[in-house]
């Protein structure tokens, strides 16, 4: 690895033995993953839009492993923060490190083996099958020359999201929920330690939203990946996330385990609307109206 200019380069060494086999062998227990001390650390990050609107300063340590949900009212800066973590958007100040790699200085193609990100709108012009799309997830590893090992990883990502039946279908022949799953499979095939998803439940009905959240939970539990996801529905966050990060007016106002955030006073403050939390059959439920 060329590190002559002193910037951090992702050194694939800690993960090389797994990399060839991919996905399946990266199974780690969540406790183990928390112990490694990697994860996302955000220090003094700011982003300005004109004079009025600004995000930050955000300081946040997201431990490795588990599902972290970003919640907050519209315009709170959840998606902006997520896209900055995923280096799709530059920040004006501060720094973000993912598993030790500085997002601002690490080369994008190296970062692509550390973190994957899925945006909300995916406007794909080309005629692609599900499997071809998922295959693009291997680009950071194979530079477009898909090897047999890559095909294995792609197959596993597809099977993991139960897309096996659909893998030869073209994307324009899928329902919204199926397409969303295909995109998630692509991100999964990228086989990065950290997976960022921007509102993956958008446009999904109840059934598909629940299934998507279960998939994300499994990605974290069974594959040992850190998942950070922007969610609109706090009850999904409460049920499926391990921690919640609440944002408001561009700043993080609360961050902690679900139980600490799912409190009437905290949520009322975050959303500026009366919210009460009741005990549901599967844990706390937020109620508003």
Partner 1 sequence: MAEVLAAVPARTAAAAGRTSGAFPTAGARRRYVLVVAMLTLLAAASLIGLLVHGNPVPFGTAGFWRIVQLRVTSVLVILVVAIAQATATVAFQTAANNRIVTPSIMGFESLYTAVQTTAVFVLGAAGVTALQGVPQFALQVVLMTGFAVALYGWLLSGRRGSMHVMLLIGIVIGGGLGAVSTFMQRLLTPSEFDVLAARLFGSVANADASYLPLAIPLCLAASALLFTRARRLNVLALGPDAANALGVGHRREQLRVLLLVAVLMATSTALVGPMTFLGFLVATLAYQWADTHDHRLVLPVAVLTAVVVLGGAYFVLKHVFAAQGAVSIIIELVGGSVFLLVLLRKGRL
Is residue 88 a contact residue for partner 1 (CB under 8 A)?
yes
Is residue 193 a contact residue for partner 1 (CB under 8 A)?
no
Tell the smallest beta-carbon distance from residue 8 to partner 1 (Å).
Answer: 15
Tokens standing for 62?
């997201």
Tokens standing for 273?
């609307």
Q: Containing H/E element for 53? A: strand 53-63
Tell the smallest beta-carbon distance from residue 150 to partner 1 (Å).
Answer: 7
Orientation angle between helical segments 148-160 and 176-189, nearest 10 degrees: 140
Distant-in-sequence, close-in-space partners of 123: CB < 8 Å, separation ≥ 6? none
Q: Give the span between the Cα atoms of 179 and 170, in whole angstroms.
A: 10
Among residues 128, 149, 174, 285, which is the contact residue for partner 1, using CB under 8 A?
128
Cβ contact 118:197 at 8 Å: yes
Q: Which is nearer to partner 1, 200 or 284 (CB)?
A: 200
Is residue 136 a contact residue for partner 1 (CB under 8 A)?
yes
Please report, as residue ranges, which positions from 211 to 270 form the binding site for partner 1 (by CB under 8 A).
218, 221-223
Tell the smallest beta-carbon distance from residue 101 to partner 1 (Å).
Answer: 13
Q: How far is CA 91 from the centre of its chain?
A: 18
Is residue 154 a contact residue for partner 1 (CB under 8 A)?
yes
Strand, helix or coil at 140? Answer: helix
Tell the smallest beta-carbon distance from residue 10 to partner 1 (Å).
Answer: 11
Cβ contact 156:23 at 8 Å: yes
Tell the smallest beta-carbon distance from residue 249 to partner 1 (Å).
Answer: 24
* Span interacting with partner 1, options 133-141, 199-207, 225-233, 248-256, rule CB under 8 A: 133-141
Q: Give the span between the Cα atoms of 150 and 153, in whole angstroms.
A: 5
Tokens standing for 131?
């499997």
Is residue 194 a contact residue for partner 1 (CB under 8 A)?
no
Residues lying near partner 1 in the complex (CB under 8 A) are found at 23-24, 27, 86-88, 107-113, 116-119, 122-129, 131-132, 134-140, 143-146, 150-152, 154-156, 159-160, 164, 167-168, 172, 187, 190, 218, 221-223
């Amino acid at each position: 690895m060329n590190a002559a200019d002193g910037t951090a380069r992702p050194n694939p060494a800690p993960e090389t033995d797994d990399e060839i086999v991919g996905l399946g062998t990266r199974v780690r227990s969540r406790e183990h993953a928390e112990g490694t001390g990697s994860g996302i650390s955000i220090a003094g990050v700011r982003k300005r839009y004109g004079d009025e609107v600004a995000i930050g300063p955000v300081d946040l340590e997201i431990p490795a492993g588990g599902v972290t949900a970003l919640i907050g009212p519209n315009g709170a800066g959840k998606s902006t923060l997520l896209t900055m973590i995923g280096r799709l958007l530059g920040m004006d100040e501060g720094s973000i490190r993912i598993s030790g790699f500085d997002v601002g200085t690490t080369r994008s193609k190296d970062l692509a083996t550390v973190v994957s990100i899925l945006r909300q709108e995916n406007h794909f012009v080309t005629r692609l099958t599900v499997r071809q799309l998922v295959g693009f997830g291997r680009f950071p590893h194979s530079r477009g020359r898909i090897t047999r090992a890559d095909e294995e990883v792609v197959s596993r990502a597809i099977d993991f999201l139960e897309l096996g039946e659909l893998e030869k279908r073209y994307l324009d022949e899928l329902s919204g929920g199926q397409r969303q799953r295909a995109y998630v499979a692509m991100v999964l095939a990228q086989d990065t330690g950290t997976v960022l998803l921007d509102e993956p439940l958008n446009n999904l009905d109840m059934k598909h939203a629940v299934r998507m959240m279960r998939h994300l939970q499994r990605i974290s539990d069974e594959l040992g990946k850190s998942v950070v996801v922007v969610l609109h529905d706090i009850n999904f966050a409460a049920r499926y996330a391990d921690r919640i990060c609440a944002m408001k007016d561009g700043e993080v106002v609360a961050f902690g385990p679900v139980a600490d955030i799912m409190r009437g006073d905290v949520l009322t403050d975050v959303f500026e609307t009366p919210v009460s939390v009741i005990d549901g059959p599967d844990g706390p439920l937020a109620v508003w109206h």
